[in-house]
Amino acid sequence: MKLTLDITATDGSARTGTVATSRGAFRTPIFMPVATKGTIRSLMTHDLAALAAADGTAGEVVLGNTYHLMLRPGADVVADLGGLHRFVGWDQLMLTDSGGYQVFSLEPKLHDGGAEFRSTYDGSTHLLTPEGAVATQELLGADIQMVLDVCAPLPSSREALREALELTSAWAARARAAHRRTDDQAQFGIVQGGTELDLRKESAQRTVELDFDGYAVGGLSVGETRQEMLPALAAALEHLPVDQPRYLMGVGDPVSIVEAVALGIDMFDCVLPTRLARHGTLLTDLGRLNIKRSEFARSDDPVDASCPCATCARYSRGYLRHLVAVGETSAASLCSVHNLTWMFTLVGRVRAAIAAGTFDSLRSDVAAVWSGSGPGLGDS
């Protein structure tokens, strides 16, 4: 089913609105937490359901990983147990990626047919094809599925980027033809091309020709600087439909989110907030806070007095530092609750600023605090 962005306000190229799916609508810009193996590490879905920023912004879409779920427990098992939503206990929206990023991190053998790789679980050999990725995601039953693409690392030679583009385009055509679950599942195409602006333009144009239900930009935040990433992103966006959702994959640091919104991106996912949380690093309006520092041992202050999360409402910095220091698993949960709430608050502020015509001011404020952080990376 084709997804359309109902734009309610713009400020320059930044836009805010809603996207309707067969299961319900979500607001944009949106940050999507990553539940790689069917759960956000250290959190359960009922924990996520309880999170909300001060303006009510919450985890309206959760991302699952096809690579991991097709190997453990298997897409057929998930389907037999009622599909991914029921399996993980989440009644809101879900998106599954194709597993391409994880597969290509394993240095697979690539050919026209697909990608041959060895499982990280037991070493068994598998062939992931464009059609197989589609069929697996149809069994999982998420509301949005992604096509199988080739994600080249950066830096890569122009020849390698060209090869990735050609395979991505060919596989996208096959995936589009293979998609059968069109009544309740949207399918997004993915633009590749590295940091080569002409390749990004070409990939975007070829992807749009296939008439996908939405569009993503992949192959960024994989080794390049933000200064290299943003022009490549802009080159792709110039050729994507303005009335459909546009998704920047795997990017989650505050400056990159805000700068990408300024270019016209609507959707983001990243493991960065929960990965940082598991290592005792908290996101605040003043930047990153390392709760392991000795200065917090006797602090009775919350992480952030303005944050509406349960962690900040109930627990002190001193208590969180203690939990991290003694290795309590609850430390990761409490810190993740805070970091995800902070991210939801950030995108809520972005939406409000676009609607109010003050987005440039917010953009400057975020850059002043976070300009030293790089693009968020990878898998959990």
Catalytic sites, residue numbers: 97, 269
Longest dimension (CA), the chain: 61
Of 47, 18, 1, 27, whose CA–CA distance to 277 is shortest? Answer: 47
Hey, how many other C-beta atoms are within 10 angstroms of the C-beta on 211? 10
Distances (CA, A) of 228 to 217, 221, 225, 327, 344: 14, 10, 5, 38, 26
Long-range contacts of 132-135 (CB under 8 A, 24+ apart): 133/66, 133/98, 133/99, 133/100, 133/175, 134/175, 134/178, 134/179, 134/187, 135/178
Pairing outcome for strands 5-11 and 14-20: antiparallel
Contacts of 288 (CB under 8 A, 6+ apart): 276, 281, 282, 373
